[in-house]
Structure 1
Amino acid sequence: MAVDHHIVLNRMRQHFDQLIEFPQEEWESFLPCLAVKEVAVKHCLQVIGEKSTYNHFIAEGLVRF
């Protein structure tokens, strides 16, 4: 069964919201540095127990830079 990336992204947003306060519409763009964002996304995937990889998100165009 394919991973519903939007559900994962919502869970990631909830996790990030616990760390820092950002308007929901800006949450994807708060990290200007690609390398830092990659580390943050990978960490968040690990924290929420998601088995998808960072590259899956890049391939789907769901993590924008």
Structure 2
Amino acid sequence: MWVVPGVRKELHMVMVCVVMACSFQLMCLFRCFSSSFEPKFQWRSTNRHGGNDDGGRLRRES
């Protein structure tokens, strides 16, 4: 590949940003799916993050 070193560096940064954004969205999707399919997992995650029972109750109703 014939790429100028400066441009190559910028492309690398863009790729890193894109990969990070994609992985973040995948994590959000996985969390949504797991919470809809496994209520227990949702309860455990809220308790681990210090969430109170009201938050869990509201999340269960929605």
Q: TM-score range by the shorter chain?
A: 0.3 to 0.5
* Bigger proportion of residues as helix: 2
TM norm structure 1: 0.37
Structure with higher RCO (Cα < 8 A, 6+ apart): 1
Between structure 1 and structure 2, the one with the greater Rg is 2
